[in-house]
């Protein structure tokens, strides 16, 4: 009687319906099936077999004992009218100790001297890659004078999504994987990549690349110097991976675009360095245009600034507010009229400073940032203003400020009345009067966020931030504050000669001066 008869019997007027096998859908069917299997193999359980429903796991200590256990299990199945399906069985295949010994010996030879060698950074590298439907494999070799010898091996299985790639994408994935795994060897080295997919040699010339290919190609071009060597195999004959170069059917040497890398380094120097300040597209573009020109410069700068994570996360919106602006009449001389304000809320430094006095010339837009403390008095503010402004630029005709108690105090007013300086105060909720300083304050706070990873050390970076601000072209004047005040821009790293530009951007060495330098496309 089948076990299904105990589980489900349906009675009718003329008889009953009984299952002869285990049906699907019964709540207690799994537990009853497990009970039946435990009863069938009750004498063998935990001795040579483990049962879980319809899964039978057989284990033995020796080969001879395993054959005996198999025979006993098959007898139990046959006696209880149970059958196994051959396609669902996994049978252990033992190839013999001699075969295992030979295979282990081959592995040891491949990873031991003299076949396996240590990498030599002074020698050029050669990478051999290949891909199949389910995996990719590569190895790294050197030519030590007596033929190619391996340095490292690498392989991995393709993920389910990667197995759907076209064959040329799988081959390119193998190349990218090599440069990521062996980056410590291949960065800055002369690398030859041997491929077996001919379409990859035309990858740079293809007008339409998918986003994945663009991302891979950008990674390779911007980080490594390599040549692609296509090797054509003979028909119906396995292509040996270590075939000498003299037998190569076709060779394609692909040189990296050094000008593209140079452009990126130039924009990076103008935008990211401590002397630059992570300014926007307009100021970065004008800074590069002082010394260089190349086609599509605007597009390159826009892409670089738009992809800068610091600029995107640290800067706030600068959209112009609605309403009519009421600008003040511009002065006639440098530093004739200035605006002054305090920036507060900064972390206290060991010197006691936790604020910045900001002074801006209304004509040239030059600014001075002077560290101070929030408890500074009117007398101390006057001394600081004299040391920062008057010492360098002379007496100002007018000073515009807000209604801070230090600026409205009798001492402050008496001091500047003696010099004939006119004091002007902005009205509450009327930013048009002193909007220039307020905007400068926002720019200075932005510079601190983007250039000071440790904001508690803001005072140490303040001189370089002031230089960055005064060296950046103003949107109002289209010139830098340095250029308007001194008739020339200061010497910066990007103003070096193009012949030493690459060395300078890497090592910061040679420094020469030249007005403009043409970079070919």
Same domain? 476 vs 424 = yes
Give per-residue pLDDT as tens, 331-379: 888 888 888 888 888 888 888 888 889 898 988 889 898 999 988 898 9
- The answer as to whether 60 is a domain residue is yes
Q: Is residue 104 part of a domain?
A: no
What confidence tens digit (pLDDT) does each residue in 19-56 have?
A: 777 777 778 888 888 898 899 998 888 889 999 888 89
Number of domains the chain is built from: 4
Cβ atoms of 59 and 46 within 8 Å: the answer is: no
Q: What φ, ψ does residue 378 adopt, rounded to 5°?
A: -65, -35
CATH number at residue 430: 3.30.420.10
Q: Do 55 and 15 share a domain, yes or no?
A: yes
Percent of the chain residues past pLDDT 90, beyond the cut: 4
Residue where a domain terminates, one of 86, 101, 133: 86
Position 135 scores a pLDDT of: 92
Residue 99 is predicted with a pLDDT of 63
DSSP letters for 27-46: TTHHHHHHHHHHHHTTTTBT
Query: pLDDT digit string (tens) for 472-486?
Result: 888 778 888 888 888
Residue 315 — very low, low, confident or very high, per pLDDT cuts 50/70/90? Answer: low
Task: Give the integer Cα–Cα distance in Å for 444 and 450.
Answer: 10
Question: Are residues 169 and 66 both part of a single domain?
Answer: no
- CATH number, domain of 48, equals 3.30.70
What's the chain's average pLDDT? Answer: 77
* Mean pLDDT value across residues 116-126: 81
242-300 pLDDT, tens digit per residue, is 455 544 444 444 445 566 777 777 787 777 766 666 677 777 887 777 777 788 888 88
Provide CB contacts within 8 A for 68, sequence distance 6+: none
CA distance 80 to 433: 100
In this structure, the answer to whether residues 387 and 403 fall within a common structural domain is: yes
pLDDT of residue 192: 86
Does 498 have pLDDT greater than 60? no
Q: Is residue 134 part of a domain?
A: yes
Identify the CA nearest to 284 among candidates 296, 275, 293, 276: 276
Asked if residue 417 and residue 388 are part of one domain, the reply reads: yes
Q: Identify whether residues 514 and 381 lie together within a single domain.
A: no
324 is a domain residue: no
343 lies in the same domain as 482: yes
490 confidence band (pLDDT: 50, 70, 90): confident
CB-CB contact of 282 with 251 (8 Å): no
Residues 77 and 152 in one domain: no
pLDDT tier for residue 434 given thresholds of 50, 70 and 90: low
- Domain assignment present for residue 457? The answer is yes
Of the candidate ranges 139-148, 182-191, 196-205, 511-520, the one whose mean pLDDT is the lowest = 511-520
Residue 111 forms part of a structural domain: no
Q: Give residue 57's domain range.
A: 4-86
pLDDT digit string, tens, across residues 152-175: 888 899 999 999 998 888 888 888
Same domain, 246 and 152: yes
Among residues 237, 256, 275, the one where a domain terminates is 256
Residue 323 domain-assigned (yes or no): no
For the segment 60-85, what is each residue's pLDDT rounded down to a tens digit?
888 888 889 989 999 999 998 888 88
- Here the CATH number for the domain that contains residue 137 is 3.10.20.370
pTM (2 d.p.)? 0.40
- Cα-Cα-Cα-Cα dihedral sign, residues 376, 382, 385, 387: negative
């Amino acid at each position: 009687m089948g076990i299904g008869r105990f589980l489900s019997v349906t009675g009718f007027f003329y008889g009953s319906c009984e299952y002869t096998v285990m049906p699907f859908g019964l709540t207690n069917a799994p537990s009853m099936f497990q009970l039946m299997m435990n009863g069938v193999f009750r004498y063998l359980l935990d001795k040579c077999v483990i049962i879980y429903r319809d899964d039978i796991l057989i284990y033995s200590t020796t080969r001879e004992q395993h054959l005996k256990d198999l025979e006993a299990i098959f007898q139990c199945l046959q006696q209880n009218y149970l059958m196994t399906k051959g396609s669902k069985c996994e049978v252990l295949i033992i190839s013999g100790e001699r075969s295992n010994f030979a295979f282990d010996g081959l592995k040891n030879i491949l990873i031991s001297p003299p076949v396996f060698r240590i990498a030599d950074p002074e020698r050029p590298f050669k990478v051999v890659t290949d891909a199949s439907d389910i995996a990719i494999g590569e190895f790294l070799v050197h030519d030590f004078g007596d033929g190619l010898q391996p340095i490292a091996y690498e392989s991995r299985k393709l993920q389910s999504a990667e197995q759907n790639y076209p064959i040329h994408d799988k081959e390119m994935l193998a190349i990218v994987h090599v440069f990521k795994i062996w980056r410590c060897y291949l960065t800055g080295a002369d690398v030859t990549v041997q491929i077996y997919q001919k379409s990859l040699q035309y990858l740079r010339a293809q007008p339409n690349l998918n986003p994945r290919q663009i991302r891979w190609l950008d990674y390779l071009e911007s980080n490594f110097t390599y040549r692609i060597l296509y090797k054509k195999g003979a028909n119906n004959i396995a292509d040996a991976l270590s075939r000498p170069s003299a037998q190569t059917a076709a060779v394609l040497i692909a040189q990296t675009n050094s000008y593209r890398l140079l452009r990126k380094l130039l924009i990076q120097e103008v935008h990211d360095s401590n002397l630059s300040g992570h300014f926007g597209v307009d100021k970065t573009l004008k800074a590069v245009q002082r010394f260089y020109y190349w086609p599509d410069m605007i597009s390159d700068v826009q892409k670089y600034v738009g992809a800068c994570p610091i600029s995107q996360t640290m800067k706030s919106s600068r959209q112009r507010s609605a309403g009519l602006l009421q600008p003040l009449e511009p002065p006639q001389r440098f530093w004739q009229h200035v605006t002054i304000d305090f920036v507060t809320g900064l972390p206290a430094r060991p010197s006691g400073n936790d604020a910045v006095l900001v002074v801006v010339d209304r004509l040239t837009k030059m600014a001075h940032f002077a560290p101070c403390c929030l408890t500074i008095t009117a007398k101390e503010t006057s001394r600081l203003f004299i040391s920062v402004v008057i010492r360098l630029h002379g007496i100002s005709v007018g000073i515009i400020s807000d209604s801070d108690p230090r600026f409205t105090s009798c001492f402050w007013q008496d001091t500047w009345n003696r010099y004939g300086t006119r004091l002007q105060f902005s009205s509450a909720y009327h930013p048009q009067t002193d909007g220039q300083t307020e905007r400068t304050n926002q720019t200075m706070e932005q510079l601190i966020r983007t250039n000071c990873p440790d904001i508690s050390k803001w005072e140490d970076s303040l001189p370089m931030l002031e230089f960055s601000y005064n060296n950046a072209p103003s949107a109002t004047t289209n010139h830098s504050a340095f250029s308007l005040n001194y008739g020339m821009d200061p010497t910066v790293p990007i103003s070096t000669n193009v012949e030493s530009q690459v060395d300078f951007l890497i090592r910061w060495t040679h420094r020469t001066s030249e007005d403009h330098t043409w970079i070919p496309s």
